[in-house]
Structure 1
Amino acid sequence: MSSDDRGDDIPRVGQQPGPDGPDQDVFSPLGIREFAFAGAFGELGAAFLGALRATGAVGESAEAEYQRALDSVRGYPAEDVDRLARRGWEELPEEAYLDRWALVQVLTDLRLAGTADALAAVVATPVPPERYPEGAHRYSTVGQETVIRTTAVEGLARLAADGSTSAVDTLVRHVDDDRRGVRAACVLALRELAAPVDLPGLIRSEDADLLEVRRYDVRDVPQVTRVDHIRYPGAGADVRPPPP
Structure 2
Amino acid sequence: MRDSIVNQAQRFLLKVLAAGPVPKHVAFVMDGNRRYARRQQKQVQEGHADGYLALRRMLEVCLRLNIQCVSAYAFSIENFKRSEDEVKALMKLAEKMLLEFCEHGDILDEYGVRLNVLGRTSLLPEEVQLAVRKAESMTRHNTRAILNLCMPYTSRDEITTAVESCIRNADPSNPQITEKDIDAQLMTSLGCSPPLDILVRTSGVKRLSDFLLWQCCEDTQIHISSTFWPDFGLLDFVPIILDFQRKAWGRQISL
TM-score (norm 2): 0.31
- Determine which structure has the larger strand proportion and give its number: 2
Answer with 1 or 2: which has the greater Rg. Answer: 1
TM-score (norm 1): 0.32
